[in-house]
Amino acid sequence: MSALVAVHGLVLYLAVAWKGINLSRAPHNRSLRWVTACLVCAALAYPAGIIVAAHSTAPAAPWLTFIELSCLLGTGYALCCFFLFSLRGRSVARAQARRRAIPVAIAIAILAVTAALNPARAGMYDLRDPAVVVPYLTFDLCIAWLLADACMLSRQGARSSTGTLAHGLRIAAAGLALMVAGASFIAVYIVLRWSRIGGPASLGQTGNLLVIPGVLVFLTGVCYPGAVMRFRAARIWVRHRRAYRDLGPLWALLHQAFPEDRLARVPAGRRPSLLSPHGVHWRYYRRVIECRDGLVRISPRLPQDDPAGAELAGHLLAALASVSTGPPAEGQAVPVAIPKTSNLDADADELIRLSRALPAGNRIRIPRPRRETQANARAERTPSP
């Protein structure tokens, strides 16, 4: 068994396990059911094909061939049903799926009869023998019809969709078209060999060469929407991680002055979230909120003329240095580093500009009030009985 075949099997069984887990979480999702059924049929056909190729003269070879071809037909049928239940209503999709099941059932019955009548022998791949030609020709014609049907359904879905989903469906339709062409060439080659016309061997090779890239193109189209979504999510992750790091100097100063503003609550399961890529997002949001809370607390000590850049950074350092030594700030909070648009990312950008305007390596020492001073302040705030 070549390394490419082994990798193909590994990827296939990993995909089955992945979709099986997804189906266990959403057992009523009909589209997911058919996707899982498609992968399971392909996974069942995979070992049968390998065993037949290695032991073509074994007594069980005809029945293993039957299992392989029947499972591949099941793969094509499940693929059609996936598109049907994704694009049609439940009742319409169910009726059309039943109509498509009739030819598939007839083809599987023909495969079973030929497997029972065809004993294993050295010439079971001889395309001049009708007992060999009938099952392979039946399979190629049926799978070509199923793939062509899936191709038309994917094109219909592309016309009714937009964005990356439409692009992915068009790519998948192109891959299905290549597979249909490959299966058709193989069927023509089988007929020519059976009739002893002596069709060119390149016709069958061309069919096989079209099927392989067709599968790759189809998988590319299926994975395209998810890949684009993951790419966009990765860009957001990188931006949030960079913003979290850039807000570090500003957050450190404000946290040193107002440690009580720290958001102590964290999502459930903190340790897994720290290792998860999603943990970057809530840490970013928490840091933005803590920086904004700190600026609201210190804003009465800042000038009212709304300075910006290095000027604001200088005023902020001076105000933070006087938090514990100076008198309590009077007046209401004033806007500081307010963005032009009202969204969290714009607010974070303004905070990042302020954080970058702070002197490099700056670390001021904010003196803390002594314990007796804190006790007196609490006593003054406590009403007498």
CATH code linked to domain 3-235 = 1.20.1070
pLDDT at 376: 47
Cα gap 139→120, rounded to integer Å:
19
On whether the CB atoms of residues 69 and 46 are closer than 8 A, the answer is no
Delimiting residues of CATH 1.20.1070 domain(s) in the chain: 3-235
Tell me the pLDDT tens digit for each residue of 325-351.
Answer: 555 556 677 778 888 887 888 889 989
Q: How confident is the model at residue 374 (pLDDT cuts 50, 70, 90)?
A: very low
**Worst-scoring range by mean pLDDT, 159-168, 193-202, 325-334, 337-346?**
325-334
Cα gap 26→192, rounded to integer Å: 48
**Which of 127, 81, 125, 131 shows the shortest CA–CA distance to 111?**
131
pLDDT at 385 over 80: no
% the chain with pLDDT above 90 = 22
What's the rounded Cα separation, in Å, for the pair 225 and 162? 11
Residue, of 373 and 102, whose pLDDT is higher = 102
Give me 93's structure tokens. 């999709």
pLDDT of residue 173: 92
Separation between Cα atoms, residue 242 and residue 192, nearest integer Å = 64
The letter for the amino acid at 264 is A
pLDDT(211) > 90: no
Which contiguous run of DSSP H or E holds residue 341? none
Output the CA–CA distances (angstroms, integers) from residue 290 to 56, 80, 132, 159, 261, in the order listed. Answer: 70, 52, 74, 47, 7
Averaged over 205-212, what is the pLDDT? Answer: 80
Instruction: Output the pLDDT for position 331.
Output: 62
Determine the pLDDT at residue 141.
92
Average pLDDT estimate for 108-123: 80
How many CA within 13 A on the CB side of residue 169? 21
Q: What is the mean pLDDT of the chain?
A: 80
- Interval 318-329 mean pLDDT: 68
**Res. 265 pLDDT band, cuts 50 70 90:** low
Cβ 158 vs Cβ 173: under 8 Å: yes
If you average pLDDT over residues 205-223, what whole number do you get?
82
- What pTM was estimated for this model as a whole? 0.72
Region 220-230 average pLDDT: 86
For residues 305 and 368, the model is more confident at 305
Provide the pLDDT confidence category of residue 50 given band limits of 50, 70 and 90: confident
- Residue 324: phi, psi to the nearest 5? -95, -20
pLDDT at residue 144, as a whole number: 93
| pLDDT of the residue at 381 | 39
Distance CA 37, CA 42 (A): 9
